[in-house]
Structure 1
Amino acid sequence: MDVKPTVAHSLPEVHRSVSVPNAGGFMRKLFAFLGPGYLVAVGYMDPGNWATSLAGGSAFGYTLLSVALVSSLMAILLQALCVRIGVASGRDLAQLCRERFPKAVAYPLWLLAEIAICATDLAELIGTAIALELLFGIPLLYGVLLTALDAFLILWLQNKGVRWLEALVFGLIALIVACFGVQIALSQPNWAEVLNGYIPAVSIVTNETQLYIAMGIIGATVMPHNLYLHTAVVQSRAWQADEASKREAIRYATIDSSVALTLALFINSAILILAASTFHTSGNTEVAEIGEAYHLMAPLLGSGLAATLFAVALLFCGINATVTATLAGQVVMEGFLRFRLPPVARRMLTRLVAIVPAVLVTWHYGSSGTAQLLVLSQVILSLQLPFAVIPLMLFAQDKGRLGALVAPRWQIIIGWACAALIVALNIKLLADVLLGD
């Protein structure tokens, strides 16, 4: 196998493959940039988010909706910074880390990023396998193995063009939104309490259990691999090289990601609202297993349709998330290690890096331990997140690389505040783990 060192573009198969019109109105230009944000947004609605939202909604009703809102606003800002870095520098986050930091720092960052992608894929593969088991009766282990087929789906779609891949992801997101729309209508939530839930409550800080689940929601929302992926996939657009065109690209691509992440907020909120209106109000306050939620839903709502749509939405979320996690694996591997493999080999390698651990843990734990596995994946992601966010913030304020396109001061201040919050929550989480809490 021929492996050649290179400093190739991010995702070279699709790099600058989508033309951007030089003239035309706002909507025409915006349409050219729509797509990358949705590839990123699916990571914010993966099965790890489902587990934390189910636990929070069943235990505390609508109270933790404010946490979902705050974490989504945090994600919108961080992904906007990813757009700026990708457009202004022409490099992705992995490449910048390799170029700026010594090998003693860059290689550990690469290893941590790979571990985070494995943890992400673990949750996504398990979630997809659970959906296949609930819908079609396919055993969990076989379902995990079937998810390897998405590597070939990505390869086929990328060969047809990145727009096809974006269309698949957007279509599945639209179906997910429709599924939850029906489920919310069937569950008949108390809308006054829903709106009140978006106002932060003191109990989130004073109640240790609420605080722990709130930390889980934040950890499951801001995904490390998305920071690497977004800086790369935004470069699929062929904007002009002058400063004015780059500013325009940043503006339109930021709108794209912000709208997409708002949809992700709707879906995460819908899961929490569904859990609150279905389980919490009926006294089922300890629902964490996705399978348990599925089996309880039909008798509590008096309709099997809600449970079926719940599993269908989970399947679509899992497929979407595994697709983008595989792309993130490519970005991380090529950016940090500076080598390229043939497309088929690269797809299979990035998929095997994730699927082997998933098969082993599924074989060992079986369906009874899926909630614990999902929680474990979020703990790993939470611990790794600062090692992606801090480099992101360093590059966002780097005038040497971004020049006049460096991030505005207010974004830098709020971004560092987000980084500090993430680090503080991780210290708390690590202390809880070490103390056995």
Structure 2
Amino acid sequence: MNPPPPPSATSPSLGEMNASVAVPQGGHWWFRLLAFLGPGYMVSVGYMDPGNWATDIAGGAQFGYLLLSVILVSNLMAIVLQGLSARLGIATGRDLAQACRDHFSKPVNLCLWLLCEVAIIACDLAEVIGTAIALKLLFGIPLVVGAIITAIDVVLVLWLMHRGFRALEAFVIALLLVIFGCFAVQIVLAAPPVHDVLAGFIPRAEVVTNPHALYLAIGIIGATVMPHNLYLHSSIVQTRAYPRTDIGRRGALRWAVTDSTLALMLALFINASILILAAAVFHANGRTDVQEIEQAYELLAPMLGVGLASTLFAVALLASGINSTVTATLAGQIVMEGFLRLRMAPWMRRLVTRGIAIVPVVAVTALYGEQGTATLLVLSQVVLSMQLPFAVIPLVMFVGNKAKMGALVAPRWLLTLAWGIAGVIVVLNVKLLMEWMGA
């Protein structure tokens, strides 16, 4: 008698949530699109989390609209990579962590798991700092107390997970709409010159020839594409109950890529809005020294002449920080179960990860004051940037493997593009690390 297959070979990603969202097989195409809307928006949260805010603010304040082209390029890279992640999950029925476990040796898997856990903790660190800053700006809560308060988000996450996957998605989308609304109002108040904004999306040589602009450009790219999002997306696309046939998978891939592309265009708007706001308010008025979130908050209202501007900025920051906690929890669960076959209670997983993130925030604030958290925020983005190749390279390897992917193997043009993106990310990350070490 043959031995039973290992748990990772039989256990679907996310357990009972797998194939839990019904997909209509007939009727108008609009209903099938609506059924697939959700995972892309959960993924998009990582592309507009508090870690992105500092680089976007600094880029807009120092160089005006110049770096909008970098935000556009990084967003296009994200669309390709998240499309590949969805392709892997739909074609193989495995998330990226499970696919790595199937393919690599135990020591390699252990290293990849540890690197991914570091990336999740770094992302959580940015969320703690961002949420704590927002609580301070809105309610006057000291940064250390605000950081500790963020630990109670475990209650929110547990409640949402108990309500089902659609409840998670609805909560995330609702907060994304809050962020979108806040920035839409601020852009109207700032009234940036439309011609200058559109010109900013056209790449210029100055981005590369100016060392300071290049450094910020690398930071923007590094802060945009999140490694844990690739694990997350490859899993949550499988929550849809599409037919597990070649035809069903092709349809699912088409709708999943549509969903993630639409969601990432929303992320593009929000990231671009942060930079445009900084360019229109700070750069245009000679305040090229603005680099930190709190500086931006303090200056927005007096420079725009509207007190509501700063409040909307802080509300959007709070919504961004809270939203990121949901996706970070899910990503952590997916990574741990996929690599180690280890299932930890969500509340325990959340408390451990958040506890590890809170400690450095409290310690740095106590030792160096609140200014130290700005340096910690930048460090978290550098750490995230360093982990990205270890998720991107296995992903591109797998989607080009005919034996794994079957009929949905990535075409040659897509693989060429993906390897080019991976190469750019590796080169930029090495440069970012060298710049950071030499700073």
Provide TM-score, normalisation by structure 2: 0.96
Secondary structure of 1:125's partner?
helix
Task: Give yes or no for contact 1:65–1:272 (8 Å, CA) kept in 2.
Answer: yes
Distance 1:321 1:250, change over 3 A: same
What residue number does 2:19 align with? 16
What residue number does 1:161 align with? 164
359-368 or 331-340: which moved more?
Answer: 359-368
Opposite residue 293 of structure 2, the aligned amino acid is I
Secondary structure of 1:266's partner?
helix
Q: Work out which of the residue numbers 207, 231, 234 in structure 1 matches 2:234.
A: 231
What residue number does 2:330 align with? 327
Task: Give yes or no for contact 1:289–1:370 (8 Å, CA) kept in 2.
Answer: no
Secondary structure of 1:19's partner?
coil
Task: Give yes or no for contact 1:48–1:378 (8 Å, CA) kept in 2.
Answer: yes
CA distance in 1, matches of 2:367, 2:33: 48
What residue number does 2:89 align with? 86
Provide TM-score, normalisation by structure 1: 0.96
Secondary structure of 2:410's partner?
coil
Q: What's the CA shift string for 1:388-436, capped at 9, x where partnerless?
A: 10011011101111111111222111110000000111121222234x2
CA distance in 2, matches of 1:343, 1:302: 45
Q: What's the CA shift string for 1:337-381, capped at 9, x where partnerless?
A: 111123433333343343344443344343212221111111111
Give runs of aligned pairs for residues 338-377 of structure 1, distance below 5 A: 338-377=341-380
- Does 2:249 align with 1:246? yes
- Does 2:406 align with 1:403? yes
What residue number does 2:3 align with? none
What residue number does 1:204 align with? 207
Secondary structure of 1:286's partner?
coil
Residue 14 of structure 1 and its aligned partner are, at CA, apart by 1.5
What residue number does 1:41 align with? 44
Secondary structure of 1:18's partner?
coil
Q: Give the unaligned 5+ runs of structure 1.
A: none
Opposite residue 45 of structure 2, the aligned amino acid is V
Task: Give yes or no for contact 1:14–1:158 (8 Å, CA) kept in 2.
Answer: no
Secondary structure of 1:241's partner?
coil
What residue number does 2:295 align with? 292
Give runs of aligned pairs for residues 27-426 of structure 1, distance below 5 A: 27-426=30-429
Task: Give yes or no for contact 2:50–2:320 (8 Å, CA) kept in 1.
Answer: yes
Q: Give the unaligned 5+ runs of structure 2.
A: 1-5
CA distance in 1, matches of 2:82, 2:156: 26
Number of equivalenced pairs? 432
Q: What's the CA shift string for 1:137-184, capped at 9, x where partnerless?
A: 111111111111222211111111111110011011111111001101
Opposite residue 104 of structure 2, the aligned amino acid is F
CA distance in 1, matches of 2:365, 2:101: 34
Q: What's the CA shift string for 1:83-112, capped at 9, x where partnerless?
A: 000011111111111111111211111111
Task: Give yes or no for contact 2:124–2:353 (8 Å, CA) kept in 1.
Answer: no
Q: What's the CA shift string for 1:286-335, capped at 9, x where partnerless?
A: 11110111001111001110000000000001111122111111111111
Secondary structure of 2:15's partner?
coil
Opposite residue 71 of structure 2, the aligned amino acid is A
CA distance in 2, matches of 1:183, 1:192: 18
CA distance in 1, matches of 2:119, 2:135: 24
Opposite residue 94 of structure 1, the aligned amino acid is A
CA distance in 2, matches of 1:193, 1:342: 50
Task: Give yes or no for contact 1:13–1:158 (8 Å, CA) kept in 2.
Answer: no
Residue 203 of structure 1 and its aligned partner are, at CA, apart by 0.4
CA distance in 2, matches of 1:68, 1:373: 22
Give the fraction of aligned pairs with identical amino acids, expressed as a percent.
61
CA distance in 2, matches of 1:40, 1:345: 23
Residue 13 of structure 1 and its aligned partner are, at CA, apart by 4.0
147-156 or 364-373: which moved more?
Answer: 364-373
CA distance in 1, matches of 2:130, 2:368: 14
Opposite residue 379 of structure 1, the aligned amino acid is V
Distance 1:362 1:254, change over 3 A: farther
CA distance in 2, matches of 1:345, 1:424: 37
Residue 26 of structure 1 and its aligned partner are, at CA, apart by 1.1
Distance 1:359 1:333, change over 3 A: farther
CA distance in 1, matches of 2:70, 2:423: 17
Secondary structure of 2:370's partner?
helix
Task: Give yes or no for contact 2:364–2:373 (8 Å, CA) kept in 1.
Answer: no
Opposite residue 351 of structure 2, the aligned amino acid is M
Task: Give yes or no for contact 2:61–2:290 (8 Å, CA) kept in 1.
Answer: yes
CA distance in 1, matches of 2:26, 2:364: 53
Distance 1:394 1:161, change over 3 A: same
Residue 68 of structure 1 and its aligned partner are, at CA, apart by 0.2
Task: Give yes or no for contact 1:59–1:286 (8 Å, CA) kept in 2.
Answer: yes
Residue 47 of structure 1 and its aligned partner are, at CA, apart by 0.9
Residue 201 of structure 1 and its aligned partner are, at CA, apart by 0.9
Task: Give yes or no for contact 2:329–2:346 (8 Å, CA) kept in 1.
Answer: no
Secondary structure of 1:287's partner?
coil
Q: Which stretches of structure 1, 4 residues or longer, exceed 4 Å deviation after superposition? A: none
Secondary structure of 1:199's partner?
coil
Opposite residue 109 of structure 2, the aligned amino acid is A
